Amino acid sequence: MSAGTLYVVATPIGNLGDLSPRAAEVLRTVGVVVAEDTRRTRTLLAHADAHPADLLSLPAFDEAGRVERIVARLAAGASVALVTDAGTPGVSDPGCRLVEAAWEAGAKVVPVPGPSAALAALSASGLSADRFLFAGFLPRKGGARAEALRWLAGVPATLVLFEAGNRAADTLADLEAAFGDRPAALARELTKLHEEIARGRLSELRSRFTGALRGEVTLVVAGVAEAPEEAPVEPPEEEIRRRLAAGEAPTEVARAIAKGRDLSRSEAYALVERVRGRR
């Protein structure tokens, strides 16, 4: 018997209306749904009119311990849908271990894309989305947090981070201290009734959001500005030849070379004479 299929299904991040028709159809047709929190997923299944034979739990704190029995179902040929409470499984949520184990067991893995808090916030931030780095949640404290901030400060791409609402104010302050006062955006309650997206400098966001915020927050921060590539420096001999060929008098060339190359007038004139003698 061939192994079954694991569908990695992205679910709404707040508004149930964002569940795609394809995702709803998958939830209605699979025999097993694996959820981060079965209580929250029951609401989603009711919305999709889905009634799987089995609804299994895969919480973050025990993902490794529960993967084996799910893989056994896949190995027996079952079709399984993996969902998380909100967004895409495995992206700062449980699911990565199960997907890896499914591949190793020979199961087919099919992504069913959908809502993403990271991409929603990035698209509405007005910051460059040509190149970005999703950094997830920062370490909470200590050297690991400082090291992460130090490394991220040098990334030449827009940064997208998740943070708990009750820690958002502290994280904004840490980002400003590590990065400087960069342009940024803060998005909270995305797709929900009280959705809010604020844009400004990190210092402005820090001053505005001083208390605990409800739910999870997505932060978008401009990357470090890339230093422009320096134009190759023309050797002084080449500049002298170019200027002389253009008809400039030797004394004028020497004056320009002295000024542009931090040479004395006599040094520049001697260099001009050497070049003239080689022509």
- Summarised one tens digit per residue, pLDDT across range 240-259 is 888 888 888 888 888 888 88
Residue 227 has what DSSP assignment? P
Residue 189 has what DSSP assignment? S
Same domain, 105 and 125: no
Q: How far is CA 233 from the centre of its chain?
A: 37
**pLDDT value of position 245:** 85
Residue 134, in any domain of the structure: yes
> Could you give the CA distance from residue 31 to residue 269 in angstroms, rounded to a whole number?
88
Of 115, 140, 175, the domain-final residue: 115
Residue 102, in any domain of the structure: yes
Which phi and psi (to 5°) does residue 239 adopt?
-65, -40
- Please tell me the pTM assigned to this model: 0.77
**Number of independent structural domains in the chain:** 3
| CATH at residue 67 | 3.40.1010.10
pLDDT digits (tens, 9 = 90+) for 14-30: 999 999 999 999 999 99
**pLDDT value of position 227:** 46
Q: Using 50 as the pLDDT threshold, list the residues of the chain that sit under it.
A: 227-228, 279
> Could you give the CA distance from residue 46 to residue 117 in angstroms, rounded to a whole number?
23
The boundaries of the domain holding residue 195 are 118-221
